[in-house]
Structures are given as C-alpha cells and as structure tokens.
Amino acid sequence: MAVDDDLLKQYKGRIPEPLLKTFREYADEVGLSKANQKKAIEKIEGRYLNSKIHPGEAIGIVTAESFGEPGTQMTLRTFHFAGVAEANVTLGLPRLIEIFDARKDISTPIMEIYLKKQPKDEKELEKLIALIKEIKFSEVLAEITINIAKMIIEVKLNRKRMKDLEIRDDPLLKALRTTLKTVDILDKDDLLIMKPKVKELTLPGLYAIKERIKEVHVKGIEGIKQVLPVKRNEELILISSGTNLKKVIEIEEVDASKTTSNDIFEIAKVLGIEAARNGIVREVSKVLHDQGLEIDDRHIMFVSDLMTTTGTVKGVTRSGITGEKESVLARASFETPIVHLINASMVGEIDKLNSVVENVLINQPIPLGTGLPGLVTKMKGEKEDEQ
C-alpha cells in the first residue's frame, strides 16, 4: 500500500525530514494501512517531542558532568605502540585537555593521508612518501663548518644521500638561494661557500645563519617529519607526523575528501569552520573511544558547537569561550578574578545576574529548572490603575 502523501505533508516541519523519510521507507516495506500510518506517525511525533530538551534543562552542566565523571577514570598514560607501525600519539586526558583548550601547538600533530589509488608496488609507495616527507638541508650535507678567518660558512654535500633522495644540484641551489636571500652562495666544486651579505657580521650572527642554513627546506612538504604507510581496513594509508593539510591535499595522488589532520586550527584554516567543528567531534570521540568510555555524541557536538560558533576556534579557557561570558561575577569566579573585576570596574560593567553562577554566588534561585518560570498575573491594584 502506498504511503499517504497528505499525511506526510501534514507532518512536514513538525518532524525532521530524515525521520519522515525513514518512516516512508518502513511504511512502504511493511505495508501499513492508512489508519495505522496515522497512528504510527502520531507515535513518532510523540517520541520526537519527548526526546527534545525541555526548557530550563541544564544542558551545560549535564554536558560538563558527562565529560567530568568519565574523565576521572581516564588514565594519564600515553600509548606507546611497539615497532614502527604507528608513532607515539598523545591520548587520554592530556589530549582531551589539548582539544578543549584549543591549543595552537598540539603535542603530536598527525595526518591520515588517504590515497586515490592504491600504490602498485613498494617503489611507487616510496616515491609517494618521498614526495610528502620533508627533507631539510641538514639531511643532505656531509659537513658544515664556519671559517672564522674568512667569516664564511663552508658546506660539504653528501652526494650519496642526495642521490638516494633524488636531489639534484640545481634545484637544491635554487631552494637555498630563494630561502637565504641575504647570503651569497658560491658553488665551488664539492664545496658550497656561503658568505652573508650583512655589513657588520659578528660571530654569533654567523652562527645563527649557520643554524638557519641547516633548516632550509629542500624537498617534500614543509612540517611533515615522518611518513609511515599503515594498513587500515585493507586499505593502505599514510600516517604522517607533523601536519600540512593544505599542501598535502594539493598532491594529485592524495584523496582530499578523506585526508584529515588532527590539528583543529589547521582544519579551520584549510577547510573552514564547519570542518573544524566536525574535527573536534571526531578527535574527542576518538580519545574517548580509545579509553573505552561512552559519552553521548550530542554532548561532544554541543561543546564543539560552542567552540566554533563565532567562526573561529575558541578554547574552553579564560581567553576563550569562558572569558566571553556576559557576567562579570561568572568570569571572576572562574579564573583570574581580580583582573576581571578591575577591568569591569573601569568600564562600569553591569552584571544583570542572568545566569547560574552569579545567582549561586548571591544566594538567589538560579534561572534553571524550577527557578526558571515566572508568574504572570495581574495584581488587584494594577487593574484599578488601568481603569
């Protein structure tokens, strides 16, 4: 029996689309009668309304408690994978704090690089890895010395290593020259002689330049320290330590739709704030799942939404979303109270006492649950006034 379209139209907007769609499919499959369809959809609506959050429900506290309680069970240890299959990854509580604080420099930046096509053989794989992995100048030099007499830096290249890494002289020199614009580079047989163009060159200055020379990016993608091939669900993927999402997804062989980074800020920069929000959800669920903890996804989504709702990723810290609370008292009762109180007093901030913390502080009913509803009534006196 066909599904009653009128009925569905009637419920459109009252029940979410996906729910209606599933209902249509199931009703079709089972062949519900029109009367039963009506009954079923009424029940669905009832369930749907029942599972909605009620006004005055303390979702913030419930979310915080939902993270806080399992958090006490989380072990502080970081996992150590034996062998080379996967690098050491910060997990557990430290990682969770890292995500929620929205730290800019995360302790173990990692990318999961998916490939469009599986590489045919090891050679192809190695080629691909060489394309991604960053090679710094220090890796291809045999010797780097400071000649104090001439105030120059002499570099001897490691030809064998260069051959292994397929680095030829010309691109190398080009890379050096473009990065080190203030240094004259002379190619003298086996020796590269570098003479800084600075007028008054001091020895510490020369030493600093030497360190800079070692860090020059020669090949691969900047920031990717290590790349390891890993089999995941029969699919070969690359796991990199260090991230550079933008450059990696530009590589032709890389499947940009699946490739991810665990650096939330990078996701926000490259893929936008919605992706960052999903990134937070994914990273947090991963941490919790690894620890064997079960927290409802909606709690994670709620925090992620709060962290990204302004368009930039903000941590749950005094400089992030907690510091943006409207109430002075609420902010002061979190961290650095005197700073908040003095700053507020200088601009004459008014605390409207609209939220929970302030009302607990002054011992008034909190505007939640039973304390939320007010009484709307007309007093006897008012009526007379109106007349």
Partner 1 sequence: MVDVYVDEKFVGGVDNAKEFVKAVKEERRKNKLPQSINVVYDPDFNEVIINTITGRARRPLIIVDNGVPRLAEEHIKKLQSREINWDWLVREGIIEYLDAAEEEDAYVALNDKYLTKEHTHLEISPVTILGLITSLVPYANFGQSSRLNRGSKTQKQSLGLYASNFLLRIDTDVSLLHYPQKPIVKSFMHDVLNYEKHPSGHNITIAVMSCDGYNMEDAIILNKGSVERGLARSSYYRPYVVEELRYQGGLVDEIGVPDKDVKGYKSEDDYKFLEDDGIVYPEAKLKENDVVIGKTSPPRFLGELEEFSIAANMRRESSLTVKQGEHGTVDFIAVTENEEGNKLIQVRLRDLRIPEIGDKFASRHGQKGVIGRIVPQADMPFTASGITPDLIFSPHSLPSRMTISHLIEIIGGKVGSLAGRHIDGSTFSAESEADLRKTLLEMGFRENGTERMYNGITGEEFSANIFVGNMYYMKLKHMVANKLHARASGRIQLLTRQPIEGRSKGGGLRLGEMEKDCFVAHGASLLLKERFDSDKTVVYVCEGCGMLAVYDTMKGKAYCTKCGANIEVSPVELSYAFKLLLDELKAIGIYPKMQLKSKY
- Nearest CA to 87 among 242, 269, 268? 242
CB-nearer residue toward partner 1: 382 or 386: 382
176/138 Cα distance (integer angstroms): 12
Structure tokens at 353: 């006492």
| Interface pick for partner 1 out of 50, 51, 363, 387 (rule CB under 8 A) | 363
Mark 222-251 with x for binding to partner 1 (rule: CB under 8 A) and - for no binding: ------------------------------
How near is the Cβ of 346 to partner 1 at its closest, in Å? 9
Q: Is 107 in the site for partner 1 (CB under 8 A)?
A: no
Q: Does 182 bind partner 1 (CB under 8 A)?
A: no
362 binds partner 1 (CB under 8 A): yes
Q: x/- string (CB under 8 A) for partner 1, residues 72-91?
A: --------------------
Of the candidates 65, 124, 184, 222, which one interacts with partner 1 according to CB under 8 A?
A: 65
| Residue 57 touches partner 1, criterion: CB under 8 A | yes
| 368 counts as binding partner 1 under rule CB under 8 A | yes
Which of 51, 182, 370, 387 binds partner 1 (CB under 8 A)? It is: 370
Q: Is residue 316 part of the contact set for partner 1 (CB under 8 A)?
A: no
Range in contact with partner 1 (rule: CB under 8 A) among 30-38, 73-81, 170-178, 335-343: 335-343
Sole binder of partner 1 in the list 31, 46, 56, 205 (CB under 8 A): 56
369 scored as a contact of partner 1 (CB under 8 A): yes
Decide if residue 70 touches partner 1 (CB under 8 A): no
Interface with partner 1, residue 64, by CB under 8 A = yes
Counting contacts by CB under 8 A, is residue 376 touching partner 1?
no
Q: Are 184 and 144 in contact (CB under 8 A)?
A: no
- Output b/e per residue, 337-369; b: 16+ Cβ within 10 A: eeebeeebeeeeeebeeebbbbbeeeeeeebbe
- Candidate residues 297, 336, 350, 354; the one interacting with partner 1 per rule CB under 8 A: 350
Token couple for 169: 């002289």
| Cα–Cα dist 92/185, whole Å | 49
CB of 77 to partner 1, least distance (A): 16
Nearer to partner 1, 82 or 362 (CB): 362
Positions 134 through 163 that interact with partner 1 (CB under 8 A): none
Our finding on whether 347 is near partner 1 (CB under 8 A) is no
The yes or no reply on residue 53 touching partner 1 (CB under 8 A) is no
CA distances from 340 to 157, 310, 316, 350, 358 (A): 57, 22, 17, 13, 14
Q: Which two tokens stand for residue 307?
A: 């962290």
Nearer to partner 1, 2 or 342 (CB): 342
Which tokens sit at 357? 């913390």
Which residues make up the interface to partner 1 (CB under 8 A)? 56-58, 61-62, 64-65, 68, 338, 341-342, 345, 350, 356, 360-372, 375
